[in-house]
Structure 1
């Protein structure tokens, strides 16, 4: 049945208790997690298949990097349009439409006879995935607030972290058993199943009396207000910097662990999967710790833990060995698992009347820093291990500085 969430009209920036009337069920959690994770799944699942794809399409493996960069660019920019439009027309048209477009892109990739067509399919995938990613956060904000919002986002972020962790192993198995094209069939089928789940279990979460104008001037004003509002921009910048470091790891790990340390592709997949447990445990603790110590304090602790991992990477950057390198990355991921859901909840919670726009701008910032993080690994004239260490240490230090105003604001309220 269509379990639509309905609430009375409220003024801008309202966070009253009446705002959280939905119940976090297992079905809703799976749905939100699936919407948020599709983009990461579609990207990381194809990485182990690059060699087979290059042979089949008669291109150099490095040329396949265009399938990643084109996806990130469209994913980042597309969110800026989807969010405000979803604040005007509702969530449902863009959730269903995004999933249909995403599935169509997967089919095009599966039958692509050339790299050009494959890139086109990836662009279409990104157009669909940007809608699902934005609206996973926006729907969570529609339905929940306070500690429940933090808990919901923590569980969703766990799923989003699990997708890049487990998907390389899944991609390896699919490629060996059925060929690389089966990967794209799999993600297309997943999108169709999620669309049916959404239609049958949740439906529209933004009632008409809470929708906003979609005029270009209104959209521009919304983004301008968000960018200048310290309640949004400081936690959003913090989360985006840490996410950039995370994607930098995805980009650097094959060169560091496989080329530099001689770890096999299977070993790399196992390590990626093991990191999910770290993010899972950290994310589960985020909501509980936030209820006890306050979200800003726990968020700052997460940033500092991530920065400690960056410092450890920096100290061994010249000649990293597998165990210390993996331990430092694990420490960084533990901190990321705390700050990611907490920072996201802090950034979105004051803006229930424009959750789509806020989620879109946050997603744009995250994917921009993700593109910068992956690009820096290859662009810097130093080895990948050194480049990654500098990036994580510098990124987390700036993130900590950006989160200080959030912490001080809460301390001021308590005082």
Structure 2
């Protein structure tokens, strides 16, 4: 669209229409997961499986999400964003409908994998489209505001899932997320359109793609900030996966109370999202990213201190600190990782998404197999992940910003 290409990327403003698209695409995976968490007991009873077995529907989603992004990002750099966005949303809607009709755990897992393959395209392209349209500090602001808006869907979706489950049964939740995917597709087709012009597209030859991924994977300008963000985001998804066991089984919350707990986390993410670009304007993206990682580590250590005998208040304070730190490092670390690679925004975003979902899959798997109570397992994973993220980000904080790679 010519209207979107006229202003310089560093000067373009984030309109409501673009924000809705970016936030919706970014939130789709978390929305599809969080909306069903309060219904886990009923889903398990309906399918005749335990909650632990039902956890396979989460880990399989994360694995498919991780690997699917590598293909989606590559194809979008070669063919453009439009058909990957629309195709991904169509696949997501189809997978959601399959989940709604699932009568066995295997059927549900197949539907969740198809959901993930569609949602991963949406997620990776939300970052790629943001990089197409914005640059520098404008990109950091766009990602921060996108994160704020995107947090509303996964934050409030457990409440919506609880209400839908109580009124109509758990299957209707999958129909609702399918409808949301259709709305996003319609909005994109009518209001946004292609953002990756032909002149910026890259070769899709297998050797060229493999070489490009290989260069990115060893380029510290990308790898270090991307890995830092991924470790923290992986901890967030591990929290999502562990929340029913920790809060419902461990601390006795009802499904409605679990939904309220998730909804309050939105306020923390909102605050962090508003703070991140303002603090970055004053102290720089790298400095504020380091502060965010220190805060996330503080929250993890606080949870670890109370892991043996957790209380709802202590757990809430720990998660609030972790989310505040995550809300600072996520948009800023992502902007730092993507900024030098404008011509390969789809591929870089795909590899970033792969790292994030890979960390999520590892974290969720460890949370289910560690011989500890759920709250202790979560505390160990968050502490280890945030400490490693901080260590990895130190060289990034010490490095000066660099220009975009043009070839």
* TM-score, with structure 2 as normaliser: 0.95
Q: Indicate the residue corresponding to 2:260 in structure 1.
A: 270
User: SS of the residue aligned with 1:23?
Assistant: coil
Look up the SS of the partner of 2:352 in the other structure: helix
Residue matched to 2:5: 6
Q: Once the two structures are superposed, what CA deviation does each residue of 1:79-99 show, in whole Å capped at 9, x if it has no partner?
A: 011101100000001001111
* Distance in 2, Cα, partners of 1:323 & 1:305: 18
Shift of 1:21: 5.7
Q: How far 1:142 moved relative to its partner?
A: 0.2
1:374 corresponds to 2:373 = no
Asked if 2 retains the 8 angstrom alpha-carbon contact of 1:4 and 1:204, the reply is no
What is the match of residue 255 of structure 1?
Answer: 245
- 8 Å contact kept, 1:5–1:21: no
CA deviation digits over 1:216-236, x for unaligned, max 9? 111111111111111101100
Q: Does 1:65 align with 2:55?
A: yes
Checking the alignment, whether the CA contact within 8 Å between 1:279 and 1:333 is kept in structure 2 is: yes
Q: CA–CA distance in 2 between the matches of 1:315 and 1:156? A: 33
2:134 to 139, 144, 149: 144
Q: Counterpart in 2 of 1:97?
A: 87
CA distance in 2, matches of 1:60, 1:311: 31
TM-score by length of 1: 0.93
Where does residue 234 of structure 1 map in the other structure? 224
1:195–1:45 Cα change, 3 Å? same
Residues 38 and 258 of structure 2 are in contact (CA less than 8 Å); yes or no, is this contact kept in structure 1?
A: no
| 1:302 matched residue in structure 2 | 292
Q: 1:153 aligns with which of 143, 146, 150?
A: 143
Specify whether residues 309 and 130 from structure 1 end up closer, same or farther in structure 2 by C-alpha distance, changes over 3 A only.
same
- For 2:354, which of 364, 372, 380 is the aligned residue? 364
Residues 287-366 of structure 1: pairs in structure 2 closer than 5 A? 287-366=277-356
Structure 1 354/156 Cα, relative in aligned 2: closer, same or farther at 3 Å? same
Preserved contact between residue 59 and residue 365 of structure 2 (Cα < 8 Å): no
Deviation at 1:303, TM superposition (A): 0.4
Deviates more, 1:361-370 or 1:396-405: 396-405
Contact 1:243 1:370 in 2 (8 A): yes
Structure 1 range deviating more: 18-27 or 224-233:
18-27
Answer whether contact 1:3 1:202 (CA < 8 A) is retained: no
- Whether the aligned pair in 2 keeps the contact of 1:3 and 1:201 (CA below 8 Å) is no
TM-superposed deviation, 1:361: 0.2
CA–CA separation in structure 1 for the residues paired with 2:174 and 2:244: 22
Alpha-carbon distance in structure 1 between the residues aligned to 2:31 and 2:17 = 20
**Deviation at residue 257 of structure 1 after TM alignment:** 2.5
Asked if the contact 1:80/1:360 (under 8 Å) is kept, the reply is: yes
Q: Secondary structure of 1:204's match?
A: coil
C-alpha deviations, 1:258-313, integer Å up to 9, x for none? 22322322222111110110011111110111111100001100001111111211
User: Taking structure 1 as reference, are residues 373 and 161 closer, same or farther at Cα in structure 2, changes over 3 Å only?
Assistant: farther
| Secondary structure in 1 matching 2:400 | helix
Aligned-pair Cα RMSD in Å: 1.8
The Cα shift of 1:4 comes to: 6.0
Equivalent positions of 1:19-34 (< 5 A) are 19-20=9-10, 22-34=12-24
> What SS does the corresponding residue of 2:399 show, helix, strand or coil?
helix
Match of 2:171 in 1: 181
Contact persistence 1:85–1:214 (CA under 8 A): yes
> Contact conserved, 1:6 with 1:207, CA < 8 A, in 2?
no
Question: Mapping of 1:22-171 within 5 angstroms?
Answer: 22-171=12-161
How many Å apart are 1:411 and its aligned residue? 9.0
Which range moves more in the overlay, 172-181 or 159-168? 159-168
Alignment partner, residue 12 of structure 1: none
Q: Secondary structure at the match of 1:59?
A: coil
Q: 1 CA distance for matches of 2:342 and 2:402?
A: 23
Do the aligned partners of residues 411 and 114 (structure 1) sit closer, same or farther apart at CA in structure 2, a change above 3 Å counting?
Answer: closer
| Separation in structure 1 between the aligned mates of residue 253 and residue 96 of structure 2, nearest angstrom | 31
Per-residue deviation, residues 95-153 of structure 1 (Å, max 9, x unmatched): 01111111111112222233322222211111110100000000000000111111111
State the alpha-carbon separation in 1 of the partners of residues 10 and 271 from structure 2: 26
CA contact (8 A) 1:109 1:118 kept: yes
* Structure 1: tracts of 5 or more residues without a match: 8-16
Q: Give, in whole Å, the separation in 1 of the partners of 2:316 and 2:34.
A: 19
Distance 1:371 1:298, change over 3 A: same
**Distance across 2 between alignment mates of 1:121 and 1:383:** 30
SS in structure 2 at match of 1:317: coil
